Structure 1
Amino acid sequence: MEISTLIQPVSIGIEVILVILGLAIAVRKKRCYGWYIALTFGIYVVYDSAHLIGVQVSQNVLSGIFFIATLSILIGIWKIYSEPDSTVTGCNRGKEGQ
């Protein structure tokens, strides 16, 4: 059995988790960039699932959906980047004044 056969379902599972987290960010945290994260990884789930079960999709359709996914994550990341610094926590927590 090829490693890609084993990795594909795991990858799809991680993508589903990312969709759920994106939706939680949008709904529970009320951050609009969560919708863009969910859309991007939702597209990846559909594409990877179709590939896993052998659905044939034209190159034009693939190019279009990947463009939408790329644009979606670009908007989401831009919105994260554009948030005021006072709302950002995480990696810099506890390093104030450095």
Structure 2
Amino acid sequence: MDISGTIQLVATLAEVAVALIAFLIAIQKKKLYGWFIGITFALFVVFDLARIFALDMSAELHALVLLIACISMVGAVWLLWKSQ
């Protein structure tokens, strides 16, 4: 694996860590935005793994995963903004 592939895998592992921490925030701190952030980063992991490993995923499904992830993050930042 070349350096760019290694960097992509490390970035994906970081996304996994963010998703897990966000789910802990949702469960332990009972913060709804944690679910949205967790979903967003879990979908980013799916998006990246499909791209890195050239999984058989249609372009439409790939785009839909990205769209749902982005909408989920909009919900998270909206909730964070409202809570301030």
TM-score where L is the length of structure 2: 0.91
Residue 19 of structure 2 is aligned to residue 16 of structure 1: no
Question: In the TM superposition, what whole-angstrom CA distance separates every residue of 1:77-96 from its partner, at most 9, and x where no partner exists?
Answer: 0000000x4xxxxxxxxxxx
- The residue number in structure 2 matching 1:53 is 53
Answer 1 or 2: which has greater helix percent. Answer: 2
CA RMSD of aligned residues (A): 1.2
- The residue number in structure 2 matching 1:92 is none
Range that drifts further, 13-22 or 59-68: 59-68
Greater C-alpha Rg: 1
The structural deviation recorded for 1:54 is 1.9
CA distance in 1, matches of 2:35, 2:74: 12
Aligned length: 84
CA distance in 2, matches of 1:2, 1:17: 23
- The structure whose RCO (Cα within 8 Å, separation 6+) is larger is 2
- Provide the identity percentage: 32
Residue 82 of structure 2 is aligned to residue 82 of structure 1: yes
Question: In the TM superposition, what whole-angstrom CA distance separates every residue of 1:22-51 from its partner, at most 9, and x where no partner exists?
Answer: 101101111000000000000011121122
Q: Gapped runs of 5+ residues in structure 2?
A: none
Q: Gapped runs of 5+ residues in structure 1?
A: 86-98
- Matched AA of 1:10: V
- 1:59-98 equivalences under 5 Å are 59-83=59-83, 85=84
